[in-house]
Structure formats: structure tokens, C-alpha cells
With several copies, the nearest count.
Chain A
Amino acid sequence: MIKKGDDKAMIDGDAEILFNHQVNHDTWLLGLKRSEPAVTMKPGQFVMIRVRSGMDPLLRRPFSVCAVEKDHFKVLYRRVGKGTEIMTQAKPGENFQVLGPLGEGFVLPEEERLPVLVGGGIGVAPLFFLARLLYRRNLEFMMGFRSAGDIIPFDELRLPNHRWSVSTDDGTAGHAGFVTDLLLLYLDKNRGLPLSLFACGPRPMLKKTAETAITYGIPCQVSLESAMACGFGVCQGCAVKTAPQESSAYHYVCRNGPVFPAEAIDWEAL
């Protein structure tokens, strides 16, 4: 299985910042103007943002699309390093150079399967988009954070009225433990129910989720991260090792992903 991003919709250009506000101690919500994103951007796809002109930082930064509206789209981002630090200082009215939409997004779940969304930390961002798209359906949304203060105030994101549950590593809110514990509990309680898993978050969380899905025989799509230079299949920098049965040794996160079926990835190598 090698997928190839559809570049027909990919454009590069200035996008006006409509808003850029802090939603918790280290997370911001950014609104970028672009005509018709609702038509061209799919959940799981991402954009490459040039955080400022100048040569340091040099490379663009990849961010998932978190929500789309008629004339703009949203990015939910965590301040982790110098690029995201610079982003927090951008003001409405200024521009970012934005390339996208990029990559292969989530394949929507079959009607008969209940979607289960498993997000860790800022990995919830693309799942918000997916959840919004599935607003007519029942689904189960599980999110894990380190601590109560890290929880994204997702009410602000106008999510549909889905069932959701939260875990925190330190037990300061929701279930005390990992979000994969929530998943295992849920799977134990709902044996036999046809499910479809969607996961995004830190690599250990993805690994655990993928292995669980494979063990339980549940279809599972994971959204991966990787350092990227180009974002559209050119530099071959974003390689991830594929599972042995795949036809090539590496997949490229930007073009064959970022969303992959759990079975496509070599979880031992990750």
C-alpha cells in the first residue's frame, strides 16, 4: 500500500492571520484565511507554514488542519520550540506563507463501524476536524493529556455533541493514566461491536494503539509525525520504516501519509 498525496489542490501563498489566541498555557488556536478550504481540505491533511521570512528558522513547519470554515481554516498548535514560539507572536492582519493542503488524510469509517478517536496531547488537532466531519454519527472520542492544565478547552472549537472522555497522566483530571488505558477499558466493555480506530499523538501512544488494534483485529488509522523539509514528497526526508509485508522499505509521511493504516508501519523500528 503506497498512497500518493493528491497535489491538485496544493497551493502556496500568503494566508492572512484572522486570529491567533492562546487556549491554554502552551497551546494556541490560529485562524488562516483561504478561500474555500472547506472544499479542498480533508481531515488528516496538513499545511507547511513559514513562520517568518528570513533564514532562521529556515524550514517550514508542518501542522494539521484542525477545522475548516467557508473562508478560513484553523490550526491548533503547541509551543515547543523556536518556530512555534515565533508563531505565538504573530498578530491578526499579518501573513504566513502557507503551502497546502498536503498529504493523505483519514479514510472515513464505514457506516457500520463506530468511529473511536484516540488523541494524545496536541495530537487531538486533526481528530477535531474528523469529529466535526462525522457530526451526524455516533462516535467515541478519547483524549489523553499530561495534566489537567494541558487539556485543550475543546468546547471552544464548537465540537458536535459527541461522547468524549479524558485521561491525564498525573490523574489531575479524568481517568488517571494513559489514553490507551481508556481505549483498552472501552474495548473490553464493547467486545463484538464493529469499530474503526483513528489515532494521533506521541509515538509510544500510537504504537500501543496500533498494536492493540492489530491484536483485536480492528481497522486502525494512525497519523504520524516526522521532521520534514518539503512536505510533498520531494526531499525524501520524512521516511518511516514500513512493516515487512509492504512493497517498499520506507513510507514518506508527507505524501504516503501522514495517515497510515496501523499495519503499514514497522512499529518496532519507530
Chain B
Amino acid sequence: MFFPTPDLTTLLGPLELKNPVITASGTFGYGLEYEPLVNLKALGAIVVKGLSLKPISGNPPPRIVETACGMLNAIGLANIGLEAFLKDKLPRLREIDTRVIANIYGHHIEEYGELAKALKGVEGVHALEVNVSCPNVERGGMAFGIDPVIAARVTETVVRNTDKPVIVKLSPNVTDITLVAKAVEGAGADIISLINTITGMAVDIESRTPKLGNIFGGLSGPAIKPVALRMVYQVARAVKIPLIGMGGIMDYRDALEFLIVGAQAVEIGTANFVKPGASQSVVEGLSKYCVDHGVKRIGEIVGSLK
């Protein structure tokens, strides 16, 4: 039997990607760092490191520690700030034939609005991914994204101030993620991405100190995949807007699990450190799986769980 090259085109509401493979925020720098290792235009999209209005220098070290099949990071959302991104990174990113998604976060709800406004009309930024897992300064450092009401307010604020598709990225550190998902859907989010890292910690038994300068960090990598997959499955049944799934995806087989439970696209995070070519390999692996299984459009797989 003959199959033409499978159609990997992915429609995420208003956002069209050439394939469903996206690199996750914080694990792919500003994209350009991977140029020597990955054919960037083979990717569906690149999500850049979380941007704040002003540059942020981040948490005191140590900032990362390896755990069983995972890692904890407490980077503290260090980034060069929106201005430097627009001036130093975006012009070069624009030359690459792929979608660029700006991941944004604020310390107050207004800051989200200001970021959205500042990115309004900016050419070469194809969507916003709103990180609501960061600490809310007004609420004593609790994450915005654990309260459906606040998550909805952040979403509204961004939607009101942008002309771009809005992806809201959910935190897994909640009792019922579908409540937050429905809230941000109701507030106008075009797309939901999940999951961000799960809060964890590690201790050095010789010094009896936390292994991270910040005590707590976010767990990512293969260890969290079962939890991520469960949450994507739950959210896919709770909302109508498209989903981007992530959490521990190391290869195309992991990516397929997320598509099968209902994600239209996936993000590759920690795998970019372990195997810098991981994102491109996932694209190739998905394509081959489609050919081998007689799948003509990748969309046929989405939500195909029996």
C-alpha cells in the first residue's frame, strides 16, 4: 500500500502550525541557542523562555537538581525582559520559518495586561502563552493558576489586551484541574497548555540542607508523565478549546500518548536538555508512525482513545 507523506498540519483554534511539536518554555532558551543542533524550521512552534516586563535575575543557586527520572528547577523565571527580547532576539527569530510563541508572566495581574499590550501587533510573535504558575505577589506568593477565579481574571486581562491567540498554561498543583480549565475557557482563552512543573523538593543528607537555594522547585521530566497525561485526559473531557499537552515527553511515543488522550499538540521540555535533538526527532517519529499505521492526517489520532 502507498501512503503519501502524512499531513501533520495542526489547527489550534486561531493558530495554525505545520506540525504539533512545540518546544516548551524555559527549556529551549530563545530558540536561537538550538540552531547548531536542531533544524528549527522543522518545528511546529517555539515557545521562548518566560518573559516579564523587566529583566529578572532569578533565584539564588543551586537552581537545579536531578531526581529519579526527573529534575527539579528553581530558576526563578530568570529572563532578559521583554524589551531585550524584542530588540535582541525577535529580529533573528523572525527569519526562521516557524511559529514563535511568547510565554509571559507577571507578578500582578496588571503586569500580564501590560505584557500583552506591549506585544500587540508585534510581527513574528504568533501567540501568547500565559504562565499562571508563577507566584502572585498580591496573594503572598501563591500561584495565580491554583485559583480558578484568579486564573480567569489573568486570562481576561490578557485577552482584552492582545490581538493574538491566547494560550493559558495551567499548573498541575491543584485538586481539580478541570475547574481551572473551565474558568480560563470561560474567560476567553483560545487554547490551554498543560502541565507546568509539579512542586517538589530534595534534601542533602550530609549537610541537612535543601538541595535548591529556593527550597522548592518544579519537577519535570519522565517522572511526571503519568500525572500530566491524566490531567490532559481530564481537561480534554471538560473543555471545548484545543489543548497542548506536555510533561515528560522524551520521544514520539510519549507524544502520541498525549495526542491520543486528546491534546492537539505537544510541548517538549526537559527532553531538550537530555537529547538536544529531541523536538525534531518527535516530528520525524510522528510522521513515521502515521505512515506505518495508515494515518493520513495527524488529527485522526487526536482524542482517539478507545
Contact = CB atoms under 8 A, between A and B. Distances in A.
Interface of A: 7-8, 10-12, 50, 55-60, 97, 99, 226-230, 232-241, 248-250, 269
A269 B26 CA distance: 25
B276 A229 contact: no
Q: Which of A234, A248, A269 has the most CB of B within 10 A?
A: A234
Contacts of B49: 236
B179 interface: no
A55 B73 contact: no
Given A58-B270, A227-B62, A235-B64, A7 B36 contact: yes
A236 B276 contact: no
Contacts of A99: 37, 276
Given A10-B36, A238-B64, 7 more contacts: A7-B33, A12-B37, A50-B275, A58-B71, A58-B221, A230-B273, A248-B57
A234 B27 contact: yes
Contacts of B41: none
A234 B273 contact: yes
A100 to B, nearest CB: 11
Interface residues of B, number: 37
Contacts, number: 100
Contacts of A7: 33, 35-36
Q: Is the interface of B mostly helix, strand, loop or mixed?
A: loop
B36 A235 contact: no
Nearest to A59: B66
B69 A55 contact: yes
Interface of B: 26-29, 33-37, 49, 57-66, 68-71, 73, 75, 78, 221-222, 250, 270, 272-277
Specify the main secondary structure of chain A where it touches its partner.
loop
Given A58-B69, A58-B70, A8 B27 contact: no
Contacts of A226: 61-62
Given A59-B274, A229-B273, A237 B33 contact: no
Given A7-B33, A58-B69, A234 B78 contact: no
A241 B68 CA distance: 28
Contacts of B277: 12
Closest 6 A/B residue pairs (Cβ): A237-B64, A249-B57, A234-B29, A229-B273, A55-B69, A230-B273
Contacts of A10: 36-37
Nearest to A237: B64
Contacts of B63: 227, 236-239
Contacts of B60: 239, 241, 269
Looking at B26, B29, B69, B274, which has the most chain A CB atoms within 10 Å of its CB? Answer: B274
A8 B36 CA distance: 7
A227 B36 contact: no
